Chain A
Amino acid sequence: MARTVPTGTKLGWTIAAWVVALLIFFPILYTIVTSFKSETEAIAGFNLVPSGTLESYREVQSQYNYFKPFMNSVIIAVGSTILALLVAIPAAWSMAFSPTRRTRDILMWMLSTKMMPAVAVLVPMYLIFRDWGLLDSRIGLTVMLMLINLPIVVWMLYTYFREIPGEILEAARMDGATLWGEIVYVLTPMAVPGIASTLLLNIILAWNEAFWTIRLTTTNAAPLTAFIVSFSSPQGLFWAKLSAASTLAIAPILVLGWFSQKQLVRGLTFGAVK
């Protein structure tokens, strides 16, 4: 029998959830508000009501062709995600269903690579990219982002796969399924919510990655992170223009997140409640 939660408790939790959500969303909201202010308004102090000018958007558009970095972001984020999934699904399958004594150590080691500050390997990576002709190339950046996000993708998929009973895969094998058939026709459909949320999260991470995408590109492969950073100025007011550029850069990912929130939440809580 379901436990009845008192109305007061429900209301309290609802208010708390709204407050936390608003606090988290506030920087994005204020960026959007600032993008509709003039430069003088933007720096005048805290104000949530903009004058509604589109001057900053016009300036941003006149200085930079938005479409090129946008397309680069799409190619790099989607490309690196697909590549990461292609590598991570078999890896996570192997670790979830044929674990060895070292599986957990390997998983921890993979995750530990995320703890290294990126700047520590900037020069070696730059030299490798230079020697392999990958500087300012979408291919180089796609591979780089795939490698950066791979530990998280493997970990997430491993967690989801562990929730799938191994008996189902055994049954498929007894019915004559090959390894390929087992992964593609049995495992993958059952793990769709997990794979979908991993895919979405990886796209968001790749879209927002700013260290390597700024440092390994110049003009051809520069994505939206490079587009944003070009509007920060050492001398002169730039907050409104920077906010307009940021709004344009985050808009696609905000829309994607909004429409896929159900899958994202479902995937992230997959297996959390027994």
Chain B
Amino acid sequence: MRLHTIILGLCSASAIAFGAHAESITIATVNNGDMVRMQKLTDDFTAKNPDIQLQWVTLEENVLRERVTTDIATRGGQYDVMTIGTYEVPIWAKQDWLLPLDNLGDTYDAGDIIPAIAGGLSLDGKLYAAPFYGESSFVMYRKDLMDKAGLTMPEAPTWEFIADAARKMTDRASDINGICLRGKAGWGENIAFLTAMANSFGARWFDENWQPQFDQPEWKNTLQFYIDLMKDAGPQGASSNGFNENLALFQQGKCGMWIDATVAASFVSNPTDSTVADKVGYALAPDNGLGKRGNWLWAWSLAIPAGTQKAEAARKFVAWATSKAYLELVASKEGWANVPPGTRTSLYENPEYQQAAPFARMTLDSINSADPTHPTVKPVPYVGVQFVAIPEFQGLGTTVGQLFSAALAGQSGVDDALAAAQAAAVREMTRAGYIK
């Protein structure tokens, strides 16, 4: 009896001492379905790594961006793992703010990461962030409305076809808009869509000497086409619509087509929330026959700041959260349809995933067709498909986004908006020293 008591006491003391020595890492992340799911599944990680405790900080996207930027720039050391996107990775890696992720373990299989995604998260061939989920953009359309309009959506449509179909599908009396596109101002909102669209029209933000190009005919063609199309076939108040607003419109059956993130496919095809779940078809983002499609490339990724004191524990967590085993864990608990998409080639070869996600092949094709290093028809000095990976882009992109949003709202003309965008870009690029 006494021996039992002593052993029990020793075990308890060991457990307490062990717990006290457990290393705690803080992970900053955004609130989206995949990230929330990961937080619920972390028991698997802590069971495999009992000496590491996880602390989560979930923030709204823009607040997260501001918080982690402040922390990493000042080496505050508040976070051990950060959720960042393809925009931040090349800029921060260049500043030596991130640790390279070249050793994520023998079983990690970094070669399985989709090449386009890996390219967007690398600098000089080194991976600086591990993708948690990746996305491109494509066309989601109502098959029933397309049939009613007497049209058949090709797998790779042109902008001309999209515009014609949108106008034919529009039925204002039934509250059906032929097409829903982003109009809300912001570098991650309307500018993400319009930059990708402009690429397919042959436009570019800057020439090889960093001279802004909004005064070129390609931009005029892009913006005029977009505004005419939205006037004829877009929803009312489109200048306030971002991803979530258009998602709601599409789910309520008020959009014939929607061109946006591939991740939206899982929302619009979910019968719990979507009234049109069984009527949705998918196609590649449109082109203009110039060799580039209007689709983007984005990945929410996990990176380790250079200032962390817990690099090894952080590395173990990143390897777990972005591994093939994690995808299988999600599939076993919540089904293949809920696996974070767009990161690993092997996922798209999995027949179970292909069956659970009818949009899988189209998603992969869209991701593969985006090239962050050669985003548009003409050569550019920057990296990024729907953004320009320079620190000044957040501010400049939002300014230009406001001008384009105002043009969509009818507050200014296309020429005025482009002239103001050109002036703002020249001013900012001169101030930042790109233009001598």
Give residues in A with beta carbon < 8 Å to B: 39-40, 43-44, 62-64, 122-123, 126-127, 130, 135-136, 214-215, 218-219, 222, 226, 229-238
Q: A44-B248, A235-B264, A237-B247 are in contact. List 18 more A-B contacts (CB 8 A).
A: A39-B273, A40-B273, A63-B39, A63-B58, A123-B70, A123-B74, A214-B59, A218-B79, A219-B55, A229-B63, A230-B58, A232-B60, A233-B30, A233-B31, A233-B32, A234-B30, A234-B243, A238-B244
Q: Which residues of A lie under 8 Å from residue B261 when comparing CB positions?
A: 235
Cβ-defined contact, A126 with B70, below 8 A: yes
Q: Which residues of A lie under 8 Å from residue B28 when comparing CB positions?
A: 218
Contact A130/B76 with A63-B39, A123-B70 known, Cβ cut-off 8 Å: yes
CA–CA, A233 and B55, complex, Å:
19
Cβ-defined contact, A235 with B76, below 8 A: no
Cβ-defined contact, A126 with B32, below 8 A: no
| 7 CB < 8 A contacts A-B | A64-B58, A123-B74, A135-B76, A222-B57, A230-B60, A234-B61, A235-B244
The listed residue (A39, A44, A64, A238) touching B252 by CB distance below 8 A is A44
Cβ-defined contact, A135 with B78, below 8 A: yes
Kindly identify, within residues 74 to 129 of chain B, every residue whose CB is under 8 Å from any CB belonging to chain A. Answer: 74-79
Cβ-defined contact, B59 with A215, below 8 A: no
Q: Which residues of A lie under 8 Å from residue B263 when comparing CB positions?
A: 235
Nearest 8 A-B pairs (CB), nearest first?
A: A230-B58, A232-B60, A234-B61, A43-B248, A219-B55, A233-B31, A218-B57, A218-B78
Cβ-defined contact, B26 with A218, below 8 A: yes
CB distance from A86 to the nearest CB of B (A): 30
CB distance from B131 to the nearest CB of A (A): 16
CB distance from B307 to the nearest CB of A (A): 10
**Most B CB atoms within 10 A — which of A130, A215, A231, A235?**
A235
A-B contact count (CB 8 A): 90
The listed residue (B39, B59, B73, B77) touching A229 by CB distance below 8 A is B59
Contact A235/B32 with A214-B63, A218-B26 known, Cβ cut-off 8 Å: yes
Q: Which residues of A lie under 8 Å from residue B248 when comparing CB positions?
A: 43-44, 237
Q: Which residues of B lie under 8 Å from residue A43 when comparing CB positions?
A: 244, 248
Q: Which residues of A lie under 8 Å from residue B78 when comparing CB positions?
A: 135-136, 218
Contact A215/B70 with A222-B57, A230-B31, A233-B31 known, Cβ cut-off 8 Å: yes
Return the chain A residue nearest B35 by Cβ. A233
CB distance from B143 to the nearest CB of A (A): 22
CA–CA, A27 and B161, complex, Å:
44
CA–CA, A222 and B75, complex, Å:
20
CA–CA, A233 and B264, complex, Å:
13
**Most B CB atoms within 10 A — which of A63, A64, A233?**
A233
CB distance from B169 to the nearest CB of A (A): 22
Cβ-defined contact, A229 with B244, below 8 A: no
Cβ-defined contact, B60 with A229, below 8 A: yes
Q: Which residues of A lie under 8 Å from residue B244 when comparing CB positions?
A: 43, 233-238
CA–CA, A147 and B293, complex, Å:
54
Return the chain B residue nearest A220 by Cβ. B55
Return the chain B residue nearest A119 by Cβ. B66
Return the chain A residue nearest B75 by Cβ. A130
CB distance from A19 to the nearest CB of B (A): 27
Cβ-defined contact, A126 with B31, below 8 A: no
CA–CA, A237 and B252, complex, Å:
13
Kindly identify, within residues 9 to 38 of chain B, every residue whose CB is under 8 Å from any CB belonging to chain A. Answer: 26, 28, 30-33, 36
CA–CA, A233 and B242, complex, Å:
12
CA–CA, A51 and B139, complex, Å:
33
The listed residue (A40, A64, A122, A222) touching B251 by CB distance below 8 A is A40
CA–CA, A14 and B243, complex, Å:
44
Cβ of B56 under 8 Å from chain A: yes
Return the chain A residue nearest B67 by Cβ. A215
CA–CA, A231 and B63, complex, Å:
12
Return the chain B residue nearest A229 by Cβ. B60
Cβ of B267 under 8 Å from chain A: yes
